[in-house]
């Protein structure tokens, strides 16, 4: 990556057109040499300021002798003999002669909180070792490949004995190997852009181009990503273009006027989160946001972005009271500028990174989220299926007597499984704020039933069409809500039932990754076939998952009731032999040990609309996967 010097006329033109997609190369602070003198060039967009000065550790935080000059709305200043590591801010003098300090919107590094100064930092010079990973990625890699994501909040995955954070370099050793051993294909990192408050989890950003200093330096983070790639693990980052926080040193009223946010407070403020909303109609804001998305891919080799709070970008009235509602020029409540931004974002990202993962965290029913921009869609390649998440968890809270009449709540997601390219997430939002952990949500008379319920739910998710995501701690049965201010309760692994559950999740993950039938046709309804869906009285949800080669198919049988079924007759697609290849009721997982350990031979005995059938045992509160064994020759 090569940074350029002061902005050229062409660069400024593109910035003001909303098509400057590498604005970080000239805005911000950059080490450079002029007339054989090394120094730092500063550049900041602040078109409505009366004056901007550079204030920092080098001038006693008095910018009066380091005044910047303005051209095309961008203020610049070259300061000779300054070096990397210099702390600085911009001293903004408003048209009303107010004066305050702002962090650099394009800073590559910032002070550790509670400090808020920007730090002059070069991102050049890191020698990447992930060429093999980059070479093996293709534009269709993930639609027809397994995608199993481990969502992580780095600040609370583990903590040291004194309560301090693990560093990027320490996590590169410990976390990456943990994820690899447990069968995940990707790590998704909760927001890493610099933010002022640990308790915000990173969703209220102040410095979009700064990887948080809580865990180390920018090059330390490069090494973390590099290590992931060398081990065959992809990296997705939670990205927050929907809003930014109001902290005084951040983007809010940056030059004394609403610059990054909408000027109309009805559009420019999110009443629920107490944050500002980006002005998606302003070209320079589009250049800022799209440059930022590309920056994480250009500089840090990030494989994709989970775009947070898409619904709030799509509508003008997200969480707004009825009396405060506003409309667009056509009388609707769609944010037409927000929609256009998302389409432009995805079009630009995929034009440069056709193999990127762009995932919409969207709770709305907006159509075509994963349809191409050319066909009127938003252009993402995945959407979180939050309806699946909420409905399955509500079903699992129900007791046995209630489940038969509520089965549609569990299975309705199968009817629309191909409306979008979906990810099925059991994410951090499901285990916080007194909502209980996933294990805590399970109904049951005792711990055995609760663990069994969670095993069958996870297996149902693995069998259900769509890619998968699981938040940290849920892989070993965390019992309490997630607490972002302390480490996960790793001590639970001292107890046998949690050890057994962790072993189940690891085996389930590897089973999923190894079976083409569970992911090769995720995006195609031809890869799925229901069985016995008309009977809602037995607690069974059964279906066939197929690979492109139809001989490579699996039958998933999920029993959501406590009654086991001995000698159950099951209709099958083809005559021949079948074998149980996965069973969540194994004794080693803490189950009751009802398994099918012999080959299951089909009979010409019609059942469930199929000419052939097999007989098997179905354990209580468990899932069984049966695989067709093609005849040799």
Domain of residue 599, residue span: 525-629
Q: What is the number of other CB atoms lying within 10 angstroms of the CB of residue 181?
A: 11
Mark whether 173 and 211 lie in a shared domain: yes
| Mean pLDDT value across residues 594-623 | 96
Is residue 443 pLDDT above 90, yes or no? yes
| pLDDT for residue 139 | 58
Is a pLDDT exceeding 80 seen at residue 633?
no
Confidence class for position 631, pLDDT limits 50, 70, 90: confident
Instruction: Give the catalytic positions in this structure.
Output: 308, 361
Q: Would 132 be classed as within a structural domain?
A: no
pLDDT tens, 191-237?
Answer: 999 999 888 899 999 999 999 999 999 999 999 999 999 999 999 99
Render pLDDT for 350-361 as a digit per residue (tens, 0 to 9): 999 999 999 999
Going by C-beta distance under 8 Å and a sequence separation of 6 or more, which residues neighbour residue 277? 242, 243, 261, 262, 267, 268, 269, 270, 312
Q: Which two tokens stand for residue 146?
A: 């397994």
At 622, which CATH number? Answer: 2.60.40.1180
pLDDT tens, residue by residue, 43-88: 999 999 999 999 999 999 999 999 999 999 999 999 999 999 999 9
- DSSP letters along 557-603, please? EEE-SS--EEEEEEEESSSSEEEEEEETT-GGGTS------S-EE-B
Same domain, 73 and 163: no
Q: pLDDT class for 22, splitting at 50, 70, 90? A: very high
6 pLDDT band, cuts 50/70/90, is low
pTM of the complete model: 0.96
The last residue of one of the domains, among 477, 492, 518, is: 518
What total of structural domains would you count in the chain? 3
Report which of residues 273 and 167 the model is more confident about: 167
Interhelix angle 9-17/283-298, rounded to 10 degrees, is: 110
Supply the pLDDT for residue 4: 41
146 occurs within a structural domain: no
Q: Map tokens 């020029």 to a residue.
A: 329
- Same domain assignment for residues 158 and 113: no
Q: How deeply is 275 buried, as exposed, middle or buried, from its count of CB atoms within 10 A (0-12, 13-18, 19+)?
A: buried
Instruction: Judge whether 104 lies within some domain.
Output: yes
């Amino acid at each position: 990556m090569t940074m350029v010097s002061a902005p050229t006329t062409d660069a400024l033109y593109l910035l003001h057109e909303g098509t400057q997609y590498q604005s970080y190369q000239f805005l911000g602070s950059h080490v450079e040499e002029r007339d054989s003198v090394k120094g730092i060039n500063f550049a900041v967009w602040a078109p409505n300021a009366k004056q901007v000065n550079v204030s920092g550790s080098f001038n006693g935080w008095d910018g009066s002798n380091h005044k910047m000059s303005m051209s095309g709305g961008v203020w610049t200043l070259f300061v000779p003999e300054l070096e990397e590591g210099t702390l600085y801010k911009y001293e903004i003098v408003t048209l009303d002669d107010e004066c305050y300090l702002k962090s650099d919107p394009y800073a590559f590094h910032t002070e550790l909180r509670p400090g808020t100064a920007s730090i002059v930092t070069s991102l050049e010079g890191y020698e990447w070792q992930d060429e093999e990973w980059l070479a093996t990625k293709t534009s269709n890699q993930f639609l027809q490949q397994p995608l199993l994501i481990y969502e992580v909040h780095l600040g609370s995955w583990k903590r040291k004995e004194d309560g301090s954070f693990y560093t990027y370099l320490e996590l590169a050793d410990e976390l990456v190997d943990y994820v690899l051993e447990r069968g995940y294909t990707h790590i998704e990192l909760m927001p890493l852009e610099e933010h002022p408050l640990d308790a915000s989890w990173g969703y209220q950003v102040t410095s979009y181009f700064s990887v948080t200093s809580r865990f180390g330096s920018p090059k330390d983070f490069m090494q973390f990503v590099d290590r992931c790639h060398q081990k065959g693990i992809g990296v997705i980052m939670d990205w927050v273009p929907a809003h930014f926080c109001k902290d005084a040193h951040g983007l809010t009223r940056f030059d004394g006027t609403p610059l990054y946010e909408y000027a109309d407070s009805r559009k420019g403020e999110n009443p629920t989160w107490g944050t500002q909303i980006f002005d998606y109609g302003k070209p320079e804001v589009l250049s800022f946001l799209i440059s930022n998305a590309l920056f994480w891919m250009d500089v840090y080799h990030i494989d994709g972005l989970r775009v947070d709070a898409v619904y709030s970008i799509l509508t003008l009235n997200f969480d707004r009271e009825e009396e405060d509602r506003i409309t667009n020029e056509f009388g609707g409540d769609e944010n037409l500028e927000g929609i256009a931004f998302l389409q432009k974002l995805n079009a630009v990202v995929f034009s440069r990174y056709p193999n990127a993962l762009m995932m919409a965290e969207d709770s709305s029913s907006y159509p075509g989220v994963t349809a191409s921009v050319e066909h009127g869609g938003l252009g993402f390649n995945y959407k979180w299926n939050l309806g699946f998440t909420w409905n399955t968890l509500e079903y699992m809270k129900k007791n046995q007597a209630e489940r038969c009449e509520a089965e549609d709540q569990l299975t309705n997601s199968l009817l629309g499984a191909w409306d979008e390219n979906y990810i099925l997430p059991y994410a951090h939002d499901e285990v916080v704020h007194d909502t209980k952990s996933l294990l805590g949500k399970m109904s049951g008379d005792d711990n055995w039933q609760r663990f069994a319920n969670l095993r069958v739910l996870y297996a149902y998710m693995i069998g259900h069409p769509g890619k998968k995501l699981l938040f940290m701690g849920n892989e070993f049965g965390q019992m309490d809500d997630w607490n972002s201010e302390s480490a996960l309760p790793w001590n639970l692994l001292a107890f046998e039932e949690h050890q057994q559950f962790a072993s189940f999740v690891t085996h389930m993950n590897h089973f999923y990754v190894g079976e083409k039938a569970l992911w090769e046709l995720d995006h195609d309804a031809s890869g799925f076939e229901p069985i016995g869906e008309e009977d809602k009285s037995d607690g069974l949800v059964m279906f066939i998952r197929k690979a492109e080669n139809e001989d490579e198919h699996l039958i998933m049988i999920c029993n959501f009731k406590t009654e086991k079924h001995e000698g159950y007759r099951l209709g099958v697609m083809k005559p021949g032999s079948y074998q149980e290849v996965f069973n969540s009721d194994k004794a080693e997982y803490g189950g009751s040990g009802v398994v099918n350990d012999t080959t299951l031979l089909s009979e010409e005995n019609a059942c469930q609309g199929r000419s052939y059938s097999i007989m098997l045992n179905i354990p209580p509160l468990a899932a069984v996967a049966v695989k067709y064994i093609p005849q040799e020759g």
